[in-house]
Amino acid sequence: MDKVQETVLEIDLKALKHNFEYLKSKLTDGTKFLAVVKAFAYGSDAAQVAKYLQELNIDYFAVAYTYEGVALRDAGITTPILVLHPQPVSFDTIIKRCLEPSLYSQYVLDGFIACAETHKQHNYPVHLKFNTGLNRLGFSAEDIPNVIKTVSKTKTIKVRSLFSHLAESEELATPDFTLKQIEQFNSIYKQVYKLLDYKPFLHLCNTSGIINYPEAHFDMVRSGIGLYGFGNDQSVNKYLKPIASLKTSISQIHYLKKGDSLGYNRGFIAQKDTKTATLPIGHADGIKRQYGNGHGFVIINNQKAYILGNVCMDMIMVDVTNIDCKEGDQAIIFDAKHTAEHLAENVNSISYELLTAVSQRIKRVLYR
């Protein structure tokens, strides 16, 4: 790629394809693949990423909220879209835009059936979410008789799948909790299958589950972070390629004398003569304030340039005292080599948080 002249998020679709194929190679034939494209496809570009995955014959998409699914439909996505966390106020929109809700409580189940009735629906596809230990969303095993009674009474909806979500599938050293969740899910689907006169398909694993628990792939897997190039473990990361690179260019160089201050609240005071570079990216772009005062860095001419003082809304200033650089030179915040995961670790964060924080005002450049 050419050197950037402004702040840009480059998205490598070849890397996306590579990750998709790598993860798919872990599945047995016939297991469906759902791509999680919530939060702008983990901060990249949901519409473009989804279009590309649709070309690669992905089976399903998932988003968190209804409006994210609407944006994909507006972009021309025709693949089924599961809305993981819909609120009843959006049920009308779900039906109008042919999105498939996750129903996770009696309240949302009743609400959705009522809404589907007013739209005169027949066998509208829905997904039942069960809680197996994350304790975030989902029916419990005790709810099964009532849920199935409700579902069996109506022709308005049809349960397309049963699913649950793992709490710590990346912690392979301590598998006990995950194994209990898998056991619990097995028991849940068997009870549902006994009570229902058809068999919804099953899914449980996220990216780390795909890698670590092949016995729990069931009929479909749901991958987010893996598609974007991270496996939550060094041993997995080496097979994946981060798809997003966040780059910018130096706006101005300043030379501070010993005792000069830098930035808001005079967050940095030069202890010696210091050369600084000002970059057009700030906390409104996803570089949180925690990265300030030496906790975060960018890469300029292959060297680490630490952030000095406080992160501003639209700018950071970095220490380039020992780096040969000039105005207009490129700075890398993260890329395939200097990864988002590595940078995030410096502030006790994770790749997911840094990637999804990249603001929408930053230009996306896709290449394949």
Segment interacting with ligand PLP, rule: CB under 6 A, options 14-22, 221-229, 319-327, 331-339: 221-229
- From candidates 35, 225, 305, 315, binder to ligand PLP by CB under 6 A: 225
207 touching ligand PLP, by CB under 6 A: yes
Active-site entry in 17, 38, 129, 288: 38
| Residue 264 annotated among the catalytic residues of the structure | yes
First-to-last alpha carbon distance for the chain, in angstroms, is 11
Angle between helical axes of 144-153 and 176-195 (0-180°, round to 10): 40
Distances (CA, A) of 156 to 101, 198, 249: 14, 15, 55
- Per CB under 6 A, which of residues 308..367 are in contact with ligand PLP? none
| Residue 22 annotated among the catalytic residues of the structure | no
Side chain identity, residue 233: D
When the beta carbons of 21 and 327 are compared against ligand PLP, the nearer one is 21
* Residue positions counted in the chain: 368
- From candidates 111, 224, 242, 282, binder to ligand PLP by CB under 6 A: 224
Please, which residues have CB within 8 angstroms of residue 150's CB and are 6 or more apart in sequence? 106, 109, 110, 113
- From candidates 17, 97, 127, 165, binder to ligand PLP by CB under 6 A: 165
Q: Which tokens sit at 134?
A: 């994350």
Nearest-5° angle of CA 294, CA 300, CA 303?
70
206 touching ligand PLP, by CB under 6 A: yes
Shortest Cβ distance from residue 234 to ligand PLP (Å)?
A: 16
17 touching ligand PLP, by CB under 6 A: no
222 touching ligand PLP, by CB under 6 A: yes
Segment interacting with ligand PLP, rule: CB under 6 A, options 141-149, 194-202, 223-231, 335-343: 223-231
- 168 alpha carbon, distance to own chain's centre: 16
Nearest Cα to Cα of residue 7 among 305, 225, 245:
245
- Per CB under 6 A, which of residues 75..134 are in contact with ligand PLP? 84
